[in-house]
């Protein structure tokens, strides 16, 4: 049996890295703008190339945080996650001046000293690094845990039945206690009202002793489809459906009654309703 599965997917590393990349690029841009404003305030020269070079501090977050998130996902013991924080702070502090030295040696007329850049970056950026490599992995783990604890609702996809597998009539009880037989083609919708279920025709309502789940197995599932935990509808009696813009839909029946179609059952309903060969009665 195939299934349609609905639920929030865990926050992936790829998605996390995309968000982080956009954030650090924005921070690098803000740093350049602040350098320009400070140069104007002090009435000193502003060199875009140098400002861009030193803003590489922020760009290093992209690969290093990506690696840190991968490492923390591989570590089963939560206590080991903490060890990644000082490790990546040290790596960042050591790689940053090396990157500045290398880029300046290749593209600039003078080379910036590794030791001088390290001495500048250590007090200037240590708090930023501590926050970055602590808070961001924590937020990522929080969303992953939330998505993993969110219940996933599995809705069986429609399985076609043969003519011998479903019933054409139902024995029901009227409001006066009389037992009568109704044709399933005349049923518009069915609702659960424990310990019974109510079966609706155009002008009458009957009581039936089966559970909704039991009755669902007896009915032709190319005609009757679950639209909610407590409701089954005769698709041939649905004249229109309209989105509620939140994943749910409003169904309009031939009698003018409106029923809610839950987002979890919408794909199964649409698969039957939108079929061109659907018979309308």
Per-residue pLDDT reduced to its tens digit, 208-249: 988 999 999 999 989 999 999 999 999 999 999 999 998 899
Distances (CA, A) of 160 to 1, 156, 264, 272, 275: 11, 12, 20, 11, 14
Task: Provide the β-strand partners of residue 243.
Answer: 249
From 184, 172, 174, select the one nearest 216 (Cα to Cα).
184
Q: Which residues contact 253 (CB under 8 A, 6 or more apart)?
A: 188, 189, 233, 237, 238, 239, 259
Residue 210 burial by Cβ neighbours in a 10 Å radius (0-12, 13-18, 19+):
middle
Its CATH class, for the domain covering 163-273, is mainly beta
* Domain positions in the chain: 3-149, 163-273
| pTM for the whole structure | 0.43
Q: Mind listing the pLDDT tens digit for each residue in 3-33?
A: 333 333 344 445 555 666 677 678 767 777 8
Q: Which residues contact 58 (CB under 8 A, 6 or more apart)?
A: 24, 25, 27, 28, 31
* Residue 182 and residue 169 in contact, taking contact as beta carbons nearer than 8 Å: yes
Helix residue ranges per DSSP H, 75-113:
78-107
- d(CA 171, CA 165) in angstroms, rounded, equals 17
Give pLDDT < 70 ranges for the chain: 1-21, 24, 28, 35, 39, 46, 76, 78-79, 140-164, 276-281
């Amino acid at each position: 049996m195939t299934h349609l599965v609905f639920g929030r997917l865990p926050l992936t590393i790829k998605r996390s890295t995309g968000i982080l990349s956009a954030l650090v690029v924005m921070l690098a841009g803000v740093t350049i703008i602040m350098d320009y404003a400070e140069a104007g305030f002090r009435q000193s020269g502003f060199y875009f190339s140098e400002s861009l070079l030193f803003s590489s501090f922020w760009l290093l977050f992209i690969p290093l945080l990506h690696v840190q998130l991968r490492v923390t996902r591989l570590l089963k013991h939560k206590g080991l996650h903490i060890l990644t924080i000082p490790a990546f702070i040290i790596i960042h502090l050591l790689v940053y001046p090396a990157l500045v030295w290398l880029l300046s040696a290749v593209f600039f007329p003078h080379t910036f000293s590794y030791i001088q850049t390290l001495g500048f970056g250590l007090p200037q950026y240590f708090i930023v690094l501590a926050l970055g490599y602590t808070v961001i992995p924590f937020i990522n783990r929080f969303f992953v845990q939330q998505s993993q604890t969110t219940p996933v609702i599995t809705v069986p996809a429609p399985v076609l039945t043969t003519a011998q597998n479903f019933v054409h009539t139902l024995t029901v009880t009227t409001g006066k206690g009389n037992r009568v037989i109704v044709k399933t083609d005349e049923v518009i919708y069915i609702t659960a009202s424990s310990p019974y279920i109510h079966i609706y025709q155009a002008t009458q309502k009957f009581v039936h002793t089966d559970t909704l789940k039991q009755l669902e197995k007896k009915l032709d599932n190319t005609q009757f489809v679950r639209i909610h935990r407590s409701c089954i509808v005769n698709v041939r009696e649905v004249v229109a459906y309209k989105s509620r813009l939140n994943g749910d839909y409003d169904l309009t029946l031939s009698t003018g009654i409106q029923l809610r179609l839950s987002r979890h059952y919408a794909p199964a309903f649409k698969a039957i309703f939108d079929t061109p060969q659907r018979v309308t009665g």
